[in-house]
Amino acid sequence: MTQRAMPTTPRFTIFPIDAGRRDDWDTEGIVLTVDATRHAGKTFEQLHEEVRTQRNVVLEMIATLKPVKPVRSARLGLRRDW
């Protein structure tokens, strides 16, 4: 039975996510892209129900964001629940 030596240095470096910046963004709009041939002829209500209840319906989600200035405080009470 052979044993492999463990590497002495990590293969990747983890950088801190918070680099001292305070960014705050608000959502202006979200566009969901679906397959047009698969969903041709469906009403908006049918398509909306399928997106909400089935998996792998949305091919792409495009979010349009705008910066919020001045930055809001980090209190959870300010978070919007959808």
Over 60: is that where the pLDDT of 57 sits? yes
Backbone angles phi, psi at 59, to 5 degrees: -85, -35
- Tens of pLDDT, residues 1-51: 445 554 555 555 555 555 556 778 889 999 999 999 999 999 999 999 999
Concatenated DSSP letters for 18-78? --S----EEEEEEEEEE-TTTTTT--HHHHHHHHHHSSS-EEEEEEEEEE-SSPPP--GGG
Instruction: Note the pTM of the prediction, 2 decimals.
Output: 0.58
Average pLDDT over residues 56-82: 79
Q: Is the pLDDT of residue 73 over 90?
A: no
Q: What residues does 62 pair with on adjacent strands?
A: 31
| Residues in a beta bridge with 29 | 64
